[in-house]
């Protein structure tokens, strides 16, 4: 019987523990969490979601306050097209977040940054370009492109001096998405260094429709592995979504995956950025407390706890401060939904928006509790305190449990 530690992920002539802790925005996969994965010889992710805000919280910058002041005049205006990001500020925030993480890195593992294409920031191309280039400038080991097809993303950094040495990968949920990506980028003569195949049981946004339950990770991974082999591409394939035990991981590693990407088990790590009381909600959740819904303005289904305070909330859109989901024309599906409700309640009171959520504000305030399908099993990974609360775990404990456990066992904390 094998365990994860019997396998290694190879990038060139370097080897890593084949465990990648996935990116979780907004600052849920903190630098501290990512650094632990890297210290233990695996790969950790930070996320650049709402990086200006992350910088303010971590480094006492005032980027969000400055933006709010600049666009205050527009707060009651339904047209948000004037609300733009200052690219110099975006670059500085990214360099601070990534740079400070890289400076703190110890051990043989790697730190990647998760870049979601759906963060269109009222200027999709230029903001994504600045985000990726600044992360490379700040020394990040790699970039994982997510939440989008990213057909043009490599092209945006093709002239960057680190374009060929940084590890660049993409998350897909089908072999077709990978084929499309490769076709669109063929002229750059640069393949991705890894492909994460994310199935329908993952946390965050899903790369499926509301028929997500009809898909199965093992089948999609097998298709991608077969395609990569048939094309002799030598791109490591990394399986993600619902891999809850070391033995789950082994079954993917034995059938052609080069590594696994995991996240849900780390949401209850001490190093995870969720507030303590939210971690307890994750622990307490039963299967019936979790749903996949369509309230994210990105258009992708998203999995979350039904008890998330964001659901049904009718907060005024916070685009003058945030605005990460404004498309290139200053629109966001939440603004449309909010204004529809505002027209029905012109006094602005008791507004409830059921069909969409103000994702930026709600994620920033930790009021939208996105989670993986197996969140309801987290209670089985720990012990209870005398007051009935659950013990959070060290990231090291969870990582090593994945690495060394056998026979679907989960080690409880000492």
Q: Which two tokens stand for residue 108?
A: 């043989």
Of 166 and 269, nearer to ligand FMN (C-beta) is 269
Q: Which of 140, 201, 235, 237: binder of ligand FMN (CB under 6 A)?
A: 201
Of 169 and 372, nearer to ligand FMN (C-beta) is 372
Site string for ligand FMN, 344-383 (x = CB under 6 A): --------------------------xxx-x---------
Query: Do the Cβ atoms of 9 and 236 come closer than 8 Å?
Result: yes
Site string for ligand FMN, 251-290 (x = CB under 6 A): ----------xxxx--x-----------------------
Name the one range near ligand FMN by CB under 6 A: 50-58, 122-130, 197-205, 228-236: 197-205
In whole angstroms, what is the distance from residue 241 CA to residue 244 CA?
9
The nearest distance, CB 187 to ligand FMN, in angstroms, is 26
The nearest distance, CB 202 to ligand FMN, in angstroms, is 4
Burial of 185 (0-12, 13-18, 19+ CB in 10 A): buried
Query: With binding defined as CB under 6 A, does residue 246 bind ligand FMN?
Result: no
Burial of 126 (0-12, 13-18, 19+ CB in 10 A): middle
Give the ranges where 207-292 is alpha helix by DSSP (H): 217-230, 246-254, 276-284
Residue 130, H or E segment: helix 124-137
Name the one range near ligand FMN by CB under 6 A: 18-26, 97-105, 122-130, 322-330: 18-26
DSSP, residue by residue, 60-89 = ---HHHHHHHHHGGGTT-S--TT----HHH
Query: With binding defined as CB under 6 A, does residue 102 bind ligand FMN?
Result: no
Using CB under 6 A, count the residues that bind ligand FMN.
30
CA angle 67, 112, 171 (to 5 degrees): 95
Q: Which residues contact residue 165 at a Cβ distance below 8 angstroms, ignoring those fewer than 6 apart?
A: none
Query: With binding defined as CB under 6 A, does residue 24 bind ligand FMN?
Result: yes
Of 171 and 269, nearer to ligand FMN (C-beta) is 171
The nearest distance, CB 373 to ligand FMN, in angstroms, is 6
In whole angstroms, what is the distance from residue 131 CA to residue 112 CA?
13
The nearest distance, CB 3 to ligand FMN, in angstroms, is 18
Query: With binding defined as CB under 6 A, does residue 109 bind ligand FMN?
Result: no
In whole angstroms, what is the distance from residue 324 CA to residue 333 CA?
12
> Using CB under 6 A as the criterion, which residues of the chain lie in contact with ligand FMN when the complex forms?
22-25, 28, 47, 49, 114, 116, 146-147, 171, 198, 201-204, 240-243, 261-264, 267, 370-372, 374
């Amino acid at each position: 019987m094998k365990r994860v530690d019997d396998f290694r992920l190879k990038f060139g002539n370097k080897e890593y523990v084949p465990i990648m802790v996935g990116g979780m925005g907004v600052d849920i996969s903190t630098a501290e969490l990512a650094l632990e994965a890297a210290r233990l010889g695996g790969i950790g992710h930070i996320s650049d979601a709402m990086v200006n805000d992350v910088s303010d919280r971590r480094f006492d910058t005032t980027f969000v306050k400055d933006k709010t002041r600049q666009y205050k005049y527009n707060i009651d205006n339904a047209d948000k097209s004037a609300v733009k990001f200052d690219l110099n500020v975006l670059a500085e925030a990214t360099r601070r977040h990534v740079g400070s993480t890289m400076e703190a890195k110890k051990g043989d593992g790697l730190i990647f940054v998760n870049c979601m294409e759906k963060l269109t920031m009222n200027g999709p191309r230029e903001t994504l370009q600045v985000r990726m280039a600044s992360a490379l400038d700040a020394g990040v080991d790699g970039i994982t492109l997510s939440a989008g097809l990213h057909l043009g993303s490599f092209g945006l950094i093709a002239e960057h001096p680190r374009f060929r040495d940084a590890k660049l990968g993409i998350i897909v949920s089908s072999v077709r998405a990978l084929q499309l990506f490769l076709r669109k980028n063929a002229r750059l003569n640069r393949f991705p260094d890894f492909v994460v195949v994310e199935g329908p049981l993952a946390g965050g946004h899903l790369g499926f429709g509301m028929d997500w339950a009809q898909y199965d990770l093992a089948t999609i991974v097998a298709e991608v592995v077969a395609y990569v082999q048939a094309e002799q591409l030598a791109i490591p394939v990394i399986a993600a979504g619902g891999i809850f035990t070391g033995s789950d991981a082994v079954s993917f590693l034995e059938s052609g995956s080069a590594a696994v990407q995991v996240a849900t088990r780390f949401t209850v790590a001490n190093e995870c950025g969720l507030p303590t009381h939210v971690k307890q909600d994750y622990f307490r959740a039963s299967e019936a407390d979790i749903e996949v819904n369509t309230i994210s303005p990105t258009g992708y289904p998203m999995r979350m706890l039904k008890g998330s305070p964001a659901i049904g909330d009718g907060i005024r859109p916070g685009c003058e401060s945030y605005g990460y989901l404004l498309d290139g024309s200053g629109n966001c599906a939440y603004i449309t939904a909010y204004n529809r409700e505002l027209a029905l309640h012109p006094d602005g009171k008791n507004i409830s928006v059921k069909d969409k959520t103000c994702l930026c504000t709600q994620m920033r305030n930790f009021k939208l509790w996105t989670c993986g399908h197996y969140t309801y099993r987290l209670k089985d990974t720990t012990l209870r305190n005398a007051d009935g609360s659950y013990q959070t775990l060290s990231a090291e404990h969870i990582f090593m449990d994945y690495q060394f456990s056998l026979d679907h066992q989960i080690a409880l904390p000492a």
